[in-house]
């Protein structure tokens, strides 16, 4: 078998910095698959550009609340399990909230989920699966992560009208469950 994997450490010279490369060979031809520079993350398939290096990976949990303002305002903690994975500048988050309460929130204010693990770098729609939903208005609910914030706002799309933010009184307190999944840029 002529296939091999070679790990090669290249030391620093006057014109380049040191790195560790993983190369593979098929039929005697070596190709670089992964490079670990001495600084700046890891690159793939011979790419050496620092801008393309994978330099951040993180997994964790986040603690959201249901709120009546994008910052400040009144908030109630959401009960459930909420996780995220951050790879480079992309965040994938998911969670399940059960029987969230709007008690103490101002009835006419917009509804937000606060506490996203990172501030968003762009406005992004996300998906939510609802259970036991009992809202006053009818239409399609579109959650979106707002640019420059770490919140999700709920908009309602109704036929022949512009989207409107959902307000606290649109939700039946203590009965609504939802699952969330979102991917956004930081």
Cα maximum dimension of the chain:
72
Radius of gyration over every alpha carbon of the chain, rounded to an integer in angstroms: 23
Burial class (CB in 10 A: 0-12, 13-18, 19+), 58: exposed
Hey, how many other C-beta atoms are within 10 angstroms of the C-beta on 87?
Answer: 12
Q: How far apart are CA 21 and CA 58, in angstroms?
A: 23
Can you give the pLDDT of all 186 residues of the chain as single tens digits?
Answer: 445 555 555 554 444 566 666 767 666 677 767 766 656 677 777 777 777 777 788 999 999 999 999 887 899 998 889 999 999 899 999 999 888 888 999 999 999 999 999 999 988 888 777 766 655 555 678 888 999 999 999 888 777 778 788 888 888 788 878 888 889 999
């Amino acid at each position: 078998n002529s296939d091999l994997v070679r790990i090669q450490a290249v030391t620093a010279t006057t014109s380049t910095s040191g790195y560790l490369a993983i190369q593979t060979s098929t039929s005697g031809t070596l190709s670089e698959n992964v490079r670990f520079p001495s600084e700046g993350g890891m690159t793939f398939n011979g790419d050496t550009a620092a801008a393309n290096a994978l330099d951040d990976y993180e997994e964790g949990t986040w603690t959201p609340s249901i709120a009546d303002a994008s910052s400040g305002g009144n908030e109630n903690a959401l009960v459930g399990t909420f996780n995220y994975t951050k790879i480079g500048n992309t965040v994938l988050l998911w969670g399940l909230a059960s029987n969230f309460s709007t008690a103490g929130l101002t009835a006419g204010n917009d509804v937000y989920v606060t506490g996203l693990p990172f501030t968003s770098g762009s406005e992004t729609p996300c998906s939510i699966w609802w259970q036991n939903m009992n809202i006053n208005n009818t239409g399609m609910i579109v959650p979106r992560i707002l640019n420059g914030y770490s919140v999700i706002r709920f908009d309602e799309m109704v036929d022949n009208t512009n989207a409107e933010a959902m307000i606290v009184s649109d939700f039946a307190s203590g009965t609504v469950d939802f699952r969330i999944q979102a991917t956004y840029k930081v």
